[in-house]
Amino acid sequence: MAERKPIESWLTDMDGVLIHEGVPIPGADAFLKKLRESGKPFLVLTNNSIYTPRDLHARLRRMGLDVPVDNIWTSALATAKFLDDQRPGGTAYVIGEAGLTTALHDIGYILTDHEPDYVVLGETRTYSFEAMTRAVRLIKGGARFICTNPDETGPSAEGPLPATGAVAALITKASGKKPYFAGKPNPLMMRTGLNTIGAHSETSAMIGDRMDTDVLAGIEAGMQTFLVLTGLTAPEDIDRYPFRPSHVVNSIADLVDRV
């Protein structure tokens, strides 16, 4: 096996790696501080499309974690980048929150329910039957179906919540059309993120707590991968997958000295 090049840039998931249920994971602050001091390019990634990078910056800061706005990359931004490349200045019917609508406004998209080019589904805590019905009819009428991420459940203090992937399955069943998912594990999200910070996959690493999104996306984007055990994956889960991370560590604290 060819020897890996030194890691010059880092991508890390947020939930399960840096924070858990609104509380910083021990070592997260030290890891981020070391990254900022090193001057190495880095991104904090999230498949959650609810919040804008400014929102997330403020939320993380309240938890004691300092992540500059320009170092946050969301599935909403990846979706907007994809649509801007595919059909600049297009139109979309959107089910989602400010993170997604702001990203689409920023690329010049018009949000409409009148013959849109795309139906774009993102994360929200207020999915309405009326909006989903409208989406199904627009897709049947010819709109292309795009989804920010395939996560079927999301975390909450009370337990798992139905997430974007679950709602996408409902719309798919009713419309007969499957969506294109822009977020993890699609390596598109990783590659657009790397391009944003001017980094190369051969000298980049991805840190995550999920085998099916973080690790898979990192592998398919050609990066080294680090699986932390502070999130959704237990050690006994790893061998259930046909792929493996480059490294398995207990938590982000174990990577402070790797920066």
Which residues have a catalytic role annotated? 13, 15
Q: Report yes or no: 44 and 85 within 8 Å, Cβ to Cβ.
A: no
The backbone region for 206, taken as left when phi is positive above 0, alpha when psi lies in -120 to 50, beta otherwise, is beta
Distances (CA, A) of 155 to 2, 151, 160, 190: 38, 11, 5, 22
Q: Are 13 and 251 in contact (CB under 8 A)?
A: no
Which residue from 63, 47, 139, 156 is spatially nearest to 96, judged by alpha carbons? 47
Find, among 44, 33, 78, the residue nearest to 192 by Cα.
78
Peptide bond connecting 235 to the previous residue in cis, omega within 30 degrees of 0:
no
